[in-house]
Structure 1
Amino acid sequence: MLAQARELALERGEGLSEAQILEILQLDEEHIPALLELAHQVRLRWCGDMIEVEGIISLKTGGCPEDCHFCSQSGVFSESPVRAARLDIEELVEAAKQTAKSGATEFCIVAAVKGPDERLMREVEAAVDAVAAEVDINISVSTGILTPEQAHRLAERGVHRYNHNLETARSYFPEIVTTHTWEERRETLNLVRAEGIEVCCGGIVGLGESLAQRAEFFAQLAEIDPEEVPINFLDPRPGTPLEDQEVIDTPDALRAIGALRLALPKAVIRYAGGRELALGEEGTEAGLLGGINALIAGNYLTTLGDPAERDLDMLGRMQLPLKVLNRVV
């Protein structure tokens, strides 16, 4: 299988089929180093050697009406410790400045909603304008399911990327979310792409899906062909339906990283939440030499990540060049 993957992904820049992805996810542990080495070669050939760093911040946290079973921001789960809160524009601009100082090229403004109402749209537009006026950084937005008019407004504001994760395979999605559909999420991706905004779409590995469903998910992401794919590993949150779900083990997490790179040879694949639990320091470094070419530095929306300085030190120690807007450091 690795020989076939070398021909397709490395030599031709083509992603593996769903059946081939499943074979990769089922590789014996002894073959994981060879998988990661191939994934690294694919990344270098089709994406280059630079690592893209991003910071994220929540404009509106908690109180979401949706029932995504992994998410502590859902207002449906009364036992979740996360409560609704909003950030003012000055705080958000300061966060963007600090993010830029870390060497990041991307700053993502996130809101915990099914989709933005008019009040939130105006807040997001004001936030984008304020950050753009004071910080030299690409601005991404993640505010859930959009209407065509909302997607157009974000494009007019110069939003660089829109994040809207499919989260998991279409066949498994109803086990994880019941208040909206996989298809609704997919339509939002169509809308933002039609407006010329780059698509950022990934999901969470380790939600209880089978390996076949994981392969299905990666193949569905490849069909969308997003510019960026954030890969999260479930960090079970207290008070959510998945609070007792076991964390994916490191070999499975590394197989997933390698398989995702071979499914999407030319995408930015970004470490997101849960890597600290699923991989640890050694596994995180293995993934950076196994197909990953971006990461979120610092904290996530409701969970703690490694300090940004620690991530930058790691990249320096590994001699991985950091992508910035106008130069490489």
Structure 2
Amino acid sequence: MNILDVAREKALENGQGLSQEELVQVLNVPDDQLEELADIAHQTRLKWCGPAVSVEGIISIKTGGCPEDCHFCSQSGLFESPVRAARLNIAELVEAAQKTAKTGATEFCIVAAVKSPDDNLLNQVGEAIAAINDAVDIEISVSLGTLTREQAQRLKDMGAQRYNHNLETSRSFFPQVVTTHTWEERKETLDFVREVGMEVCSGGIIGMGESVEQRAEFAYQLAQIDPCEVPMNFLDPRPGTPFQDYELVPLGEALRAVAAFRLAMPATTIRFAGGRELSLGDDGTEKGLLGGINAIIAGNYLTTLGKQIEKDIDMLGRIDLPIKAL
């Protein structure tokens, strides 16, 4: 049985994720089978997730000055990056959440560039969650780095519904991307998040020099963690970072990766995040939404510009995909 038939039977018909070895085959599908592969991934997404597209806005409460050395990230204080440390106040966060909700988005994520949150940051986030909940009807996610179990419980009690902590890449490739902490530390935070009853959000970045086999390993490892949501980024090489001279992920590779992630996780929300504008462009973004993706981050990202939210909303109307309602 060829890999397309396997994908059709396991993922589409039975909702069963493909094995790591099968995902390697998906990532190596020849060009003349890519359209068929994308259609299987899209039909899998429609059957197990429905047609609606979840739209999320994202904002950084603290930008830059991070002590970690994630080689892709311009927020690290260890690199000569043009990004400088800055903080937002509560009123600015509420205003951003209100603007996000007006576009039809149903989720808003508060992010901070830290290794882990201190008490002052947790207090500020708690105030922000309360103020946003008073002002607008929107689901609130948080991403504040590594957590203890007690910190996870505190965020849950504050009203955070979901916690994002990306594994970033496969376990075997992780030491080539980050040296100041381990893949296992990230996994432990996700375990704490799940234990206290918050939803787990974890994904990563395609195109950091990983092999096809490691890309399949990453998708399979995410599937074993079973997050409710997977942000899917494509490397946007940032000036001053160790990855600044890396090439962009070609469109065909990006679409194969989208299909592989969907076929690894048939019923999971998979969200286009950073880098999609560069690696996929408008045409590729539409193809991704018709090839396995069922969610997007709209507007700008943490340190890079995205597309205007209104343009993404127009695109969804053009390809006849509804926006998910609260």
CA–CA separation in structure 1 for the residues paired with 2:29 and 2:116:
39
- Map of 2:90 onto structure 1: 89
Taking every aligned residue pair, what percent have the same amino acid on both sides? Answer: 65
- Map of 1:241 onto structure 2: 242
1:21 corresponds to which of 23, 31, 52: 23
- Map of 1:68 onto structure 2: 70
Deviation at 1:31, TM superposition (A): 0.8
TM-score under structure 2 length normalisation: 0.99
The SS at the match of 1:322 is coil
Deviation at 1:105, TM superposition (A): 0.5
- Map of 2:294 onto structure 1: 293
CA–CA separation in structure 1 for the residues paired with 2:118 and 2:255:
39
- Map of 1:51 onto structure 2: 53
1:313-324 aligned at under 5 Å gives the runs 313-324=314-325
Deviation at 1:295, TM superposition (A): 0.1
Deviation at 1:94, TM superposition (A): 0.2
CA–CA separation in structure 2 for the residues paired with 1:152 and 1:295:
28
- Map of 1:189 onto structure 2: 190
- Structure 1 residues 184-213: Cα deviation after superposition (integer angstroms, max 9, x where no partner): 000000001111111110000000000000
- Structure 1 residues 112-137: Cα deviation after superposition (integer angstroms, max 9, x where no partner): 00110111111111111111111100
The SS at the match of 1:237 is coil
CA–CA separation in structure 2 for the residues paired with 1:273 and 1:30:
28
Unaligned runs of 5+ in 2: none
1:9 corresponds to which of 11, 17, 22: 11
Deviation at 1:172, TM superposition (A): 0.5
Deviation at 1:165, TM superposition (A): 0.2
CA–CA separation in structure 1 for the residues paired with 2:150 and 2:309:
36
Deviation at 1:324, TM superposition (A): 1.6
Deviation at 1:159, TM superposition (A): 1.1
The residue type paired with residue 48 of structure 1 is G
**2:173 corresponds to 1:172:** yes
CA–CA separation in structure 2 for the residues paired with 1:315 and 1:49:
11
The SS at the match of 2:200 is strand
CA–CA separation in structure 2 for the residues paired with 1:155 and 1:280:
37
- Map of 2:268 onto structure 1: 267
The residue type paired with residue 25 of structure 1 is L
The SS at the match of 2:163 is strand
The residue type paired with residue 67 of structure 1 is D
CA–CA separation in structure 2 for the residues paired with 1:61 and 1:177:
19
CA–CA separation in structure 2 for the residues paired with 1:73 and 1:199:
23
- Map of 1:303 onto structure 2: 304
Deviation at 1:42, TM superposition (A): 0.3
- Map of 1:105 onto structure 2: 106
- Map of 1:130 onto structure 2: 131
CA–CA separation in structure 1 for the residues paired with 2:282 and 2:105:
21
The SS at the match of 2:60 is strand
The SS at the match of 1:248 is coil
CA–CA separation in structure 1 for the residues paired with 2:88 and 2:22:
45
The residue type paired with residue 273 of structure 1 is G
Runs of 4+ off more than 2 Å:
none
- Structure 1 residues 137-190: Cα deviation after superposition (integer angstroms, max 9, x where no partner): 000000000011100001112211100000000000001000000000000000
The residue type paired with residue 31 of structure 1 is Q
- Map of 1:219 onto structure 2: 220
- Structure 1 residues 201-226: Cα deviation after superposition (integer angstroms, max 9, x where no partner): 00000000000000000000000010
The residue type paired with residue 147 of structure 2 is L
CA–CA separation in structure 1 for the residues paired with 2:131 and 2:186:
28
The SS at the match of 1:257 is helix
TM-score under structure 1 length normalisation: 0.98
Deviation at 1:277, TM superposition (A): 0.5
CA–CA separation in structure 2 for the residues paired with 1:84 and 1:306:
24
CA–CA separation in structure 1 for the residues paired with 2:133 and 2:57:
15
The residue type paired with residue 303 of structure 1 is T
The residue type paired with residue 111 of structure 2 is V
The SS at the match of 2:141 is strand
- Structure 1 residues 14-35: Cα deviation after superposition (integer angstroms, max 9, x where no partner): 1000000000001101111001
The SS at the match of 2:47 is helix
Unaligned runs of 5+ in 1: none
Deviation at 1:312, TM superposition (A): 0.5
CA–CA separation in structure 2 for the residues paired with 1:12 and 1:320:
24
The SS at the match of 1:265 is coil
The SS at the match of 1:145 is coil
